[in-house]
């Protein structure tokens, strides 16, 4: 009994939204991986993020048949970032892995992550060398976003890196102290720091089902990251305002001087309209930028819980392995 309990616990958090087509395939591959890690106690925690299909039914069936499976059923769809946080909240492991259910990220890579964790790294993340099954536009926009974040943010967010990673217990505990409503998890992962290492891999196409991220959601996700980890848009507004003010002052001096020296009648109604419309557009743009930041401040001041879970089915891995040791 003591021998089983002394084994380190590895928790694998799996956020799931309408993933009925792939959950059982994922469970099969993850179970094979757990069997290949006999020196660890392992559990997989499925977080149902308000799915509208049979995702929760499949999770409940897996919990009944496999003691290594746990389930957290959120009261509604809160989004992937919140679902990951719920999984971290319920993970008991000495190390916690976050991975998507679509099998684009190979579960077998977790063995390499565990080895690097045992070598002393607190965070081991998977870096994509190639992204199969994704359009060139998605790849290009993702690359541009990470380059922008690298130049504007004080937090270094690794490029071509998703959520797939292993985190030690102390790094997870540090992450869980950050309870902000607007959660850009890739930035939060980087913000907590600790000793980090990358493992490169080739990302596969989805095993089944369809992606839940369209371009509109990706655009809002990018806004979340920019407004959460940099105030560069506000600085741009300041610098652009100073530039326009300086240019306008120089233009005024030129017009007044020309009138006093040459007596020219001031013309240029079309250019005046263009100038007014341009300045009006710039003002509205940066009022919108201010609104984005102000709206996030408003949401944070409410102090609402991040989520509610209507059902929690813990894994039975500890009791099961203890019983097996006794037998």
pLDDT tens digit at each of 327 positions of the chain: 455 557 888 899 999 888 888 888 888 888 888 888 888 888 999 999 888 888 888 898 898 888 888 889 998 888 888 888 889 988 888 899 998 888 888 888 888 888 888 888 888 888 877 665 566 666 666 666 666 666 666 777 777 777 888 988 988 898 888 888 777 777 788 888 888 888 887 776 554 545 555 556 666 656 666 666 666 677 777 777 777 766 766 766 766 676 666 666 556 655 676 677 677 777 777 777 777 777 777 777 777 788 888 888 888 776 444 333 323
Other C-beta atoms lying within 10 Å of the C-beta of residue 255: 13
Q: What is the pLDDT of residue 127?
A: 83
Neighbours of 46 (CB within 10 A): 29
**Res 108: pLDDT:** 86
Cβ neighbours of residue 102 closer than 8 Å, sequence gap 6 or more: 19, 22, 26, 206, 207, 208, 209, 211
Contact 90, 72 (CB under 8 A): yes
> What is the reported pLDDT for 218?
61
The residue ranges of DSSP E strands in 35-122, in sequence order, are: 40-48, 69-74, 95-98
Longest pairwise C-alpha distance within the chain: 106
In degrees, to the nearest 5, what angle opens at C-alpha 111 toward C-alphas 26 and 109? 55
Residue 295 CA to chain centroid, in angstroms? 20
pLDDT at residue 82, as a whole number? 87
For residue 16, report the phi and psi dihedrals to the nearest 5 degrees.
-140, 130
Contact (CB, 8 A) for 282 and 240: yes
Count H helices, E strands: the chain?
12, 8
Q: Is the dihedral of CA 62, 65, 69, 75 positive or negative?
A: positive
In three state form, how does the secondary structure of 18-58 look?
CCCCCHHHHHHHHHHHHHCCCCEEEEEEEEECCCCCCHHHH
Chain CA centroid to CA 1, Å: 39
State how far the Cα of 74 lies from the Cα of 80, in Å rounded to an integer.
11
Stated as kind and residue range, the H or E segment containing 327 is none
- Whether the CB-CB separation of 82 and 90 falls below 8 Å is answered with no
20 contacts: CB under 8 Å, gap ≥ 6:
51, 53, 54, 55, 58, 209
- What is the model's pLDDT at position 322? 34
Strands (E), the chain: 8-16, 40-48, 69-74, 95-98, 123-131, 161-168, 196-203, 309-313
Q: Are 202 and 132 in contact (CB under 8 A)?
A: yes
pLDDT score, position 46: 92
- Reading phi first (left if > 0) and then psi (alpha if -120 to 50, else beta), residue 133 is in left
């Amino acid at each position: 009994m003591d021998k089983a309990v002394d084994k380190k616990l590895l928790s694998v958090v799996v956020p799931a939204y309408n993933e009925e087509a792939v959950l059982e395939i994922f469970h099969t591959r993850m179970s094979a991986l757990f069997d290949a890690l006999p020196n660890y106690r392992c559990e997989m925690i499925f977080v149902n993020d308000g799915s509208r299909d049979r995702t929760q039914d499949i999770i409940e069936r897996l919990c009944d048949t496999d003691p290594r499976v746990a389930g957290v059923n959120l009261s509604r769809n809160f989004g992937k970032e919140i679902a990951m946080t719920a999984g971290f909240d319920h993970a008991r492991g000495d190390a916690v892995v976050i991975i998507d259910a679509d099998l684009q990220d190979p579960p077998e890579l977790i063995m390499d992550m565990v080895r690097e964790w045992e070598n002393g790294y607190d965070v081991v993340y998977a870096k994509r060398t190639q992204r199969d099954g994704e359009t060139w536009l998605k790849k290009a926009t993702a690359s541009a976003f990470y380059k922008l974040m690298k130049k504007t943010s004080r937090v270094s967010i690794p490029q071509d890196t998703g959520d797939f990673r292993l985190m030690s217990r102390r790094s997870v505990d540090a992450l869980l102290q950050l309870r902000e409503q607007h959660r850009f998890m890739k930035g939060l992962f980087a913000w907590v720091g600790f000793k980090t290492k990358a493992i490169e891999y080739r990302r596969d196409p989805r095993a089944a089902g369809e992606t839940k991220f369209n371009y509109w959601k990706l655009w809002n996700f990018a806004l979340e990251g920019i407004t959460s980890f940099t105030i560069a848009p506000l600085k741009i507004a300041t610098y652009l305002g100073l530039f326009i003010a300086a240019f306008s002052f120089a233009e005024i001096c030129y017009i007044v001087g020309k009138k006093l020296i040459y007596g020219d009648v001031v013309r240029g109604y079309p250019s005046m309209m263009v100038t007014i419309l341009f300045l009006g557009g710039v003002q509205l743009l940066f009022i919108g930028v201010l609104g984005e930041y102000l709206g996030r401040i408003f949401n944070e001041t409410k102090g609402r819980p991040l989520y509610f879970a209507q059902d929690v089915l813990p894994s039975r891995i500890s009791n099961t392995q203890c019983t097996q040791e006794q037998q």
